[in-house]
C-alpha cells in the first residue's frame, strides 16, 4: 500500500496512544495526530464518528479502536515477521 491516509486520535496520559504512535514511527508511516484533550473541535469530530475513546486510528477511513498492532499492520500492508528457525541446529531425535 502506498501513502495511506492515517489519522490517529489521541489524548493526554494515554499509554496505548503512545504505543500506536511509536509503532507508526517505527514502521515509518506518515500520520496526522489529533489530540482530543487539547482540541475541543477534534474531540467533537471524533464523537461524530461515533467514537468516544482513544486511541482511535483511521487508515484510509477504516476505524481501528485501541492498540491493535496486527490489525494496523494488516491494513497498512505490513507483513508479519516470521521467526527464522535454523533446522540444521535443531535436534529432532
**pLDDT tops 80 at residue 86:** no
Residue 20 cell numbers, joined? 500506536
Domain parsing of the chain, residue ranges = 6-79
**Tens of pLDDT along 46-72?**
999 999 999 999 999 999 999 999 999
Query: What distance in Å separates the CA atoms of residue 32 and residue 9, rounded to the nearest whole number?
Result: 9
Query: What distance in Å separates the CA atoms of residue 30 and residue 92, rounded to the nearest whole number?
Result: 45
Q: In terms of CATH architecture, what is 6-79? A: 3-Layer(aba) Sandwich (3.40)
> What is the pLDDT at residue 83?
62
> What is the pLDDT at residue 24?
98
Average pLDDT over residues 32-48: 97
Amino acid at each position: 500500500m502506498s501513502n495511506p491516509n492515517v489519522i490517529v486520535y489521541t489524548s493526554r496520559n494515554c499509554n496505548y496512544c503512545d504505543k500506536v504512535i511509536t509503532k507508526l514511527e517505527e514502521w515509518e508511516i506518515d500520520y496526522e495526530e489529533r489530540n482530543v484533550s487539547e482540541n475541543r473541535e477534534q474531540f467533537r469530530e471524533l464523537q461524530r464518528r461515533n467514537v468516544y475513546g482513544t486511541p482511535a486510528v483511521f487508515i484510509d477511513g477504516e476505524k481501528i479502536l485501541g492498540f491493535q498492532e496486527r490489525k494496523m499492520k494488516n491494513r497498512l500492508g505490513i507483513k508479519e515477521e516470521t521467526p527464522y528457525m535454523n533446522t540444521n541446529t535443531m535436534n529432532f531425535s
